[in-house]
């Protein structure tokens, strides 16, 4: 069987996987939050960045679903497990497409009890962290800006992401 993968963070704009097709899609009952620490992509162990995870809450999260060919699922998910190794686990979820059809698929979520979970923080604190951190995959603020741009290109709403984007862009320079 081919496998659907739902992406809601970097997997939207930099999937780096082979896929048969991709479609805008939604998960119900989950919201995207910049609550996960990044020690290996957008920060370093001494200075972790902030990246997104999903939190179970009333609402929904829009993203992209990728259909992975059954012949390459093992190699694909091995590579994704490595990429998402800092606290994310694979979960099964019901993915809804824009035509309202649904399919079961996989999604990487960093659960509340993982070692790198940061949780919520005052907006100013998150802004400072995102502005000042960087890691092997690049600057933390670029992760936020890429995500916000990708969501706009999907016509997806996300007040949490867009509020952070505005606040990080408005933050005065020189406070890093
Ligand atoms: C995802 O994009 O679906 C997982 C989180 C991330 O890699 O940013």
In a domain, 71, yes or no: yes
Instruction: Kindly state the tokens that stand for 47.
Output: 């200075």
Is residue 175, in this structure, part of any structural domain at all?
no
CATH number at residue 37: 3.10.490.10
Does residue 87 form part of some domain?
Answer: yes
Query: Is there a contact between 138 and 36 (Cβ–Cβ < 8 Å)?
Result: no
Q: 59: which DSSP letter?
A: E
Q: Please give the mean pLDDT across all residues of the chain.
A: 96
**Rounded distance from Cα 20 to ligand 1 centre (Å):** 19
Asked whether residue 174 is assigned to any structural domain, the reply reads no
Q: Is 11 in the pocket of ligand 1 (CB under 6 A)?
A: yes
Expressed as residue numbers, the domain containing 42 is 3-169
Q: Please give the model's pTM, rounded to 2 decimal places.
A: 0.95
Residue 136 in domain:
yes
Kindly state whether residue 143 falls inside one of the protein's structural domains.
yes
CA distance linking residue 64 with residue 26, whole number of Å? 8
The average pLDDT across 133-157 equals 97
| Digit-coded pLDDT (tens) for 40-78 | 999 999 999 999 999 999 999 999 999 999 999 999 999
Assess whether pLDDT exceeds 70 at residue 97.
Answer: yes
pLDDT class for 173, splitting at 50, 70, 90?
low
Ligand 1 pocket mutation, candidates 41, 52, 79, criterion most atoms within 8 A of CB: 52
Residue 44 resides in a domain: yes
Cβ of 87 closer than 6 Å to ligand 1, yes or no, is: no
Six token digits for residue 11: 């997997």
Look at residue 174 and tell me whether its pLDDT is greater than 60: no
Q: Per the structure, how many domains does the chain have?
A: 1
Residue 114 within a domain: yes
């Amino acid at each position: 069987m081919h496998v659907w993968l739902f992406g809601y963070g970097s997997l939207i704009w930099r999937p780096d996987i082979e896929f048969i097709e991709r479609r805008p899609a939604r998960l119900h009952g989950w919201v995207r939050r910049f609550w996960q620490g990044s020690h290996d992509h957008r920060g370093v162990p001494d200075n972790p960045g902030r990246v997104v995870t999903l939190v179970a809450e009333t609402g929904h999260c829009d993203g992209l679903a990728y259909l992975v060919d059954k012949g390459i699922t093992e190699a694909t998910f091995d590579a994704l497990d490595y990429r998402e190794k800092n606290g994310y686990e694979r979960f099964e979820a019901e993915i809804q497409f824009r035509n309202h059809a649904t399919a079961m698929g996989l999604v990487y979520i960093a659960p509340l009890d993982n070692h790198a979970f940061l949780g919520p923080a005052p907006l100013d604190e998150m802004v400072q962290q995102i502005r000042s951190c960087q890691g092997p995959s690049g600057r933390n603020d670029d992760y936020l800006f890429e995500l916000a741009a990708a969501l706009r290109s999907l016509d997806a709403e996300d007040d949490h992401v867009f509020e952070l984007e505005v606040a990080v862009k408005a933050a005065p320079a020189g406070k890093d």
